[in-house]
Amino acid sequence: MLPFIAISVLLAITPAYAVWPIPRQYNVGSTPLRLSSSFSIKLSGVHNAPKDLLDAVARTTAYLRTDKLQALVPDRGASSAKAIRSAKTLNSLSLSISTNAKVRSISDEAIENIESRVEGYTLTIPADGSGAILKANSTLGLFRGLTTFGQLWYDWDGTTYSLEAPFDIVDAPAYPYRGLMLDTARNYFPVSDIKRTLDAMSWVKINTLHWHVVDSQSFPLVVPGFQELSSKGAYSASSVYTPADVKEIVQYAAARGIDVMAEIDTPGHTSIIAKAHPEHIACFEASPWAQFANEPPAGQLRLASPDTTKFTSALIKSAASLFPSKLFSTGGDELNANCYAKDAATQKDLASQGKTLEQALDTFTQATHGALKEIGKRAVVWEEMVLEHQVKLANDTLILVWISSDHVQAVAEKGFKLIHAASDFFYLDCGGGGWVGQNVLGNSWCDPFKTWQKAYSFNPVANLTAEQSALVLGGQHLLWTEQSSPHNMDPVIWPRAASSAELFWSGPGGDVGKALPRLHDVSFRFNQRGVKTIALQPLWCALRAGACDLDA
């Protein structure tokens, strides 16, 4: 992990003209520069360029022509028209890769071991119109640099320009994991929505989609050998993700520098499996549900059953085989002990084996994680598996800390690498009101609404020693979708999720006042590209950086 940067110094730039996330070193000037009508991106320093890099170049070139984003200033750039017309022109951007680096595809590098990914780059754009140069030691780094290059330009009357040449950028992430979690079980999201979200993720250098693909409410994933789970557990025959869909999503993500880490949550959150295999589920749709689960419907795997353990291990192995990522989550959150206490089959299994529930959970976990290890996968779990249960986990298991950021230190003290996913900072669904019925005054359990400023203020290493800080791999925003669907997906996620993208790329310590104009810029550019973000302020404020601050 790279040392943290002096973010407060780096943010002292013209706010209406800036990239997101802020680069590690970002030096700009004040000379106007425009793109030539014949501008091109050349791969003169990349031999045998992979197709996904060529495609990334084509997309970047297209965005430069179609973004048509006007500067976020009151006159939208009109006062700069004369300077723009007389500016020197930039004809080309040349890409080169280290001569001693093996040229691999972006897709291959995107799914490399999380600690091994190389995403750094340097970008130089002279003010005199001589060629711009993008260098990296990996194709993934070149892709990140192309993303930055595409954010530097604005449009006035058909001319693509910048007022800040020259540019001298040296960049690399502070943390290797920068994610977004999407739940597709509470409500279904078509492949097209997921692909649009992957595009948006790539524009702010998010590199992991944590796909919470199934849960108690529905089982939309078609798993080879277990097709009955989706045929009986999906909301409809059209609300499924086939192996072909998964392949399409995974390939689309990888070509944009994004790894897809899928999750089959076990042994809780599995009620829907009873539709096909009632023998494996305890307290199926038991009532009142609140005594048996954290949300309806109740039902969880009979973890003490050898048959259920064998079934689950095979299911996870088959599901994980659909995804090339080296990471796969088996969940492990919100286990309800009362469900098992009142399940005769589980009590019989525990008695016959002479085991406690915790001992049975350990046996179950060893089996499911063993199945992942057989196919070269690394297990990821929610924090309860470390903090609440007596389960032996492999040393390389990754822990998602979600209940509270106050629990990070306890996880670090156990010696596990961790990913920040704290509900008190990064949950996108908070503040929407209670969604269960017959609860007139109910609020969402994680109120209030988690603003982008709240996430941006997070310190990933708070209360950690230097040794413990090295265990932090990064973090993510999360969208649980009880109250989200394709109809409100974009504004719920964006631009709030961009705040953690910068936090875990650039490091903590950013000034929300200086970041706000740049986040407006992100949001407006997203809109130009078809992603419907939520407004952060009235347009009047967005066009006048700082004018709506409390102390203005």
Catalytic residues: 334
364: part of which helix (H) or strand (E)?
helix 357-374
Distance (Å, whole) CA 135 – CA 62 = 21
461 closest CA partner among 207, 175, 172: 175
In degrees, rounded to 5, the angle at the alpha carbon of residue 187 between the alpha carbons of residues 182 and 193 is: 55
Q: Can you give the three-state secondary structure of 242-306, one letter per residue? A: CHHHHHHHHHHHHCCCCEEEEECCCCCCCHHHHHCCHHHEECCCCCCHHHCCCCCCCCEECCCCH
**Bridge-partner residues for 281, per DSSP?**
301
What do you get for the CA distance between the two ends of the chain, in Å?
38
Taking the C-alpha atoms of residue 14 and residue 20, their distance in angstroms, rounded to an integer, is 13
Q: Between the CA atoms of 190, 195, 200 and 203, what dihedral angle is there, to the nearest 10 degrees?
A: 170
Helix (H, G, I), strand (E, B) or coil at 124: strand
**Count of CB atoms within 10 A of residue 199's CB?**
18
Task: Classify each residue of 142-162 as buried b or exposed e, where b means 16 or more C-beta atoms within 10 Å of its C-beta.
Answer: bbbbbbbbbbbbbbbeebbbb
Looking at the DSSP bridge assignments, the partners of residue 295 are: none
CA distance to 38, 100, 167, 188, per residue, from 65 (Å):
11, 34, 20, 34
Task: List C-alpha distances in Å: 329 to 57, 315, 379, 389, 482.
Answer: 33, 13, 6, 17, 21
Task: Identify whether the C-beta of residue 119 lies closer than 8 Å to the C-beta of residue 144.
Answer: yes
Q: Is the dihedral of CA 285, 289, 295, 301 positive or negative?
A: negative
Smallest CA-to-CA distance from 115 within 409, 470, 400 is with: 470
DSSP string covering 207-242? -EEEEE---SS---B--TT-HHHHHHHSSSTTS-B-
For 312-333, letters b (16+ CB in 10 Å) and e give bbbbbbbbbebbbbbbbbbbbb
Distance of alpha carbon 305 from alpha carbon 315, whole angstroms? 15
**How many CA atoms lie less than 13 Å away from 168 in the CB half-sphere?**
6
- 8 A C-beta contact, residue 64 and residue 528: no
At residue 185, φ and ψ (nearest 5 deg) are: -100, -40
